[in-house]
Structure 1
Amino acid sequence: MRSPARIDVHQHIVPPAWARTLAAQGLDSGGWAIPDWSRKSAIAMMDQQGIATGVLSVTAPGVHLGDDARARDLARAVNEYGAEVVKDRPDRFGHFASIPLPDVDAAVAEAVHALDTLHADGVVLLSNAGGRYLGDPGFEPLWAELDRRAANVFVHPAQPPMALLPGTPAPLADYVFDTTRSALNLVLNGVMSRYTNVRVILSHGGGFLPYAAYRFAGLTSTVVAPDLKPADVLHDLKRFYFDTALSASPSALPALLAFAEPGHVLYGSDWPFAPQEAGTYYNHFLESHPDFTPGQAEAINRENAEALLPRLAH
């Protein structure tokens, strides 16, 4: 792209308080090192990649690291830091606030504070919180609160509740799996059909959801829930939005575009956890894809995100 225009809904921030907390506990992101981050380096990357605005979020392992009280404090520190970054450059940055699940009361309180006081553009939820997936009935109060505010919900994968494959960091394989697992859990537990005001964005092209959606729909009615018709399951699966981070490849992009509803595919980079070279690699496929319908590329790069984030509209 000749000038910055894209809205990147999957761009990460590394708040100092979060980085220090992870380092003190010897944690990383599922076997993936925590990279350096600065506003200057983020803007330089965006200028190079044709990105006008990056919507920032904290990645796995999130802000709840085992202690409820510390998770509340860390979520507040992370969210206030992100809000300040946006306040300084509202043209270049947006912000999805971190939520301290599985502490539901604290999660609801932080979501209200982040959306109403800090004016976050939405919230980020990890695909599972301590092994509990997002369709867990105990999380119902949070979904109800988010639905009342018609919130954007960005679902980022976390390490699933199982051991890593030897020599295989979670972002390489397990994250794709866990996004799919969480999305299906949301649909089968009725969250997507009950809370129709929330807009749920799935990372990395939805994992393998677009590829397997019809399998899920067909088998659900015959094996899991005979009262659920395949068309109903597909309807709820198609409510999701999807970002293109690490997923705009010659094999994944056609599957995603074939499945996603019009307006439901958004640009994502996954920087800085995905290096800038990866952004260049996947941008090439986005820019050279031969089968876009008229206006589809422009919609993915910017217009679809503008519909969810109207403050970023031209």
Structure 2
Amino acid sequence: MRVDVHAHYWTGDYLDLLVDLGKTDTDTQRGMGAGGGTELEARLRLMDRAGVDMQILSAAPQLPNGQNREKAVAAARFVNDQYADVVARHPDRFLAFATTPMPHIDDSIAELGRAIDELGMVGAVMNTTVLGRALVDPEFAPVFTELDRRGAVLYLHPAGNSACSPLIADYHLTWMVGAPIEDTISVMQLITHGFPVRYPNIKVINSHLGGALPMLLQRADNQCRWEAPQTPDLPSALARRMWYDTVGHGHLPALRAAIDSFGADRLILGTDFPYEADDIFVRAVDYINSPDIAAADAKAILETNAEHLFRISPRHG
């Protein structure tokens, strides 16, 4: 079964709640085809065209991260209920990642439990930063402890904050360059803080082939002993204890680098819908079947890795 783990879904009602929470960047998500009604019907047709059996929906990067606790909790509950409704109406086509009202720790743990235990979510989604703070911030540790206790899948997506750098934000590079830089920084923070060792039961999926990480693993192995001596193992070894989606905009050299760096067993299909839509969406799937990719690797990436990770029974016939 082909399962797309990088698939966005937002409605105008949910985005309005984020505006009330203080978000100022929701306009780019409106009217892109990632909503309900006729947009959802068109999405299903596109999935059929590309041979995508199922998508795991997530609200990232538009998550209800905000200082107003009451509004953040209400928005998280709202979107989780929305997603549960979509999954209930299309159980063979959609699953969903739970949204939490970070940085409110107790509320996030409570909503995580409600979403997984009562609504049937298959894991959780977080941005690579929470209001500009790294996920490895000690204050967030209780959330990761809970995810580890549950053996949960955790999907990570850039926040779209230009890695907090004006050199990116002020030069119109937020998503072209900033997003994969956010991925790279986040993965390396997880590695140097030993998250795969401290939380061995969390199954982390990083976005966009891990950003620049495939090009940096040997450099990280060579330099971490003097720059980050607390790292409990070589970065290359810890990187291979996580997973990475295949959103590479059809760029085959990037996919090959990720396969060579992490192993095909660590890659999972992602499309970045609706940012990759129409023919580009189809290419996001088809480029994995390139003649340059071994057939066994392509099958693992497109089908079996997600089936194993999410315990989904493969379809036959």
Whether TM-score is above 0.5 comes out as yes
Q: Percent identity?
A: 28
Structure-2 residue corresponding to 1:11: 7
Per mean C-alpha deviation after superposition, the further-off stretch among 275-284 and 193-202 is 275-284
Whether 1:279 aligns to 2:281 is yes
Matched, 1:191 2:195: yes
User: Equivalents in 1 of 2:151, 2:89: separation in Å?
Assistant: 26
What stretches of structure 1 of length at least 5 have no aligned partner? none
1:23 CA drift (Å): 5.3
Residue number in structure 2 paired with 1:178: 182
Shift of 1:203: 0.7
Paired residues of 1:91 and 1:312 also in contact (CA < 8 A): no
Letter in 1 for 2:251: S
Which of 17, 24, 27 is matched with 1:21 structurally?
A: 17
Task: For 1:26 and 1:104, locate their aligned partners in 2 and report how far apart those are by CA, in whole Å.
Answer: 20
Residue 102 of structure 1: how far off its partner (Å): 1.6
For the pair 1:267 / 2:269, whether they are aligned, the reply is: yes
Following TM superposition, by how much is the alpha carbon of 1:54 offset from its aligned partner in structure 2, in angstroms?
Answer: 0.6
1:1-314 superposed matches below 5 A: 5-22=1-18, 27-28=24-25, 32-34=28-30, 35-36=32-33, 37-38=35-36, 39-158=40-159, 159=161, 160-163=163-166, 164-166=168-170, 168=172, 170-225=174-229, 228=231, 231-292=233-294, 294-314=295-315
Instruction: Check whether the contact 2:4–2:56 (CA below 8 A) recurs between aligned residues.
Output: yes
Question: How far apart are the structure 1 equivalents of 2:231 and 2:123?
Answer: 30
2: distance between equivalents of 1:228 and 1:140? 17
Question: What amino acid does structure 1 have at the position aligned with 2:197?
Answer: S
* Cα deviations by residue, 1:39-62 (Å, 9 ceiling, x for unpaired): 212211201111000110012131
Pairwise CA RMSD of aligned residues?
A: 2.0
Higher mean C-alpha deviation, range 18-27 or range 92-101: 18-27
1:120-145 Cα shifts (integer Å, max 9, x gaps) = 01100100001111111111111110
Instruction: Indicate if the aligned counterparts of 2:248 and 2:254 stay in contact, CA closer than 8 A.
Output: no
Matched to 1:69, the amino acid is: E
What does the per-residue CA deviation read over 1:91-140, in whole Å, with 9 as the maximum and x for residues that have no partner? 10010111222222221111111111111011001000011111111111
TM-score (norm 2): 0.89
Contact 1:15 1:82 in 2 (8 A): no
Report the 3-state secondary structure (helix = DSSP H, G, I; strand = E; otherwise coil) of the residue aligned with 1:97: coil
Counterpart residue identity of residue 2, structure 2: R
CA distance in 1, matches of 2:198, 2:231: 14
1:58–1:280 distance in 2 versus 1, CA, 3 Å? same
* 1:284 Cα offset (Å): 3.9
Worse overlay, 273-282 or 105-114? 273-282
Query: 2:97 aligns to what SS in structure 1?
Result: strand
Q: Distance in 1 between matches of 2:109 and 2:118?
A: 14
1:252-295 Cα offsets, whole Å, 9 max, x none, are: 01110001134211001110133333223333422224231x42
Q: Aligned partners of 1:214 and 1:136: how far apart in 2?
A: 26
**How many residues are treated as equivalent by the alignment?**
306
Matched to 1:112, the amino acid is G
> Which region of structure 1 is more displaced relative to structure 2, 46-55 or 272-281?
272-281
Higher helix fraction (1 or 2): 2
Q: Using the alignment, how far apart are the partners of 1:306 and 1:15 within structure 2?
A: 28
- Superposed structure 1 runs of 4+ greater than 6 Å apart: none
Per-residue CA deviations over 1:31-83 (Å, capped at 9, x if unaligned) read: 84432422212211201111000110012131124422211110010001101
Question: What one-letter code is carried by the residue in structure 1 that aligns with 2:179?
Answer: Y
Tell me how far apart the structure 1 counterparts of residues 176 and 105 of structure 2 sit (CA, whole Å). Answer: 29
* Structure 1 position 167, deviation (Å): 5.2
Take 1:280 and 1:89, find their aligned partners in 2: how far apart are those partners?
A: 21
How far apart are the structure 2 equivalents of 1:201 and 1:220? 23
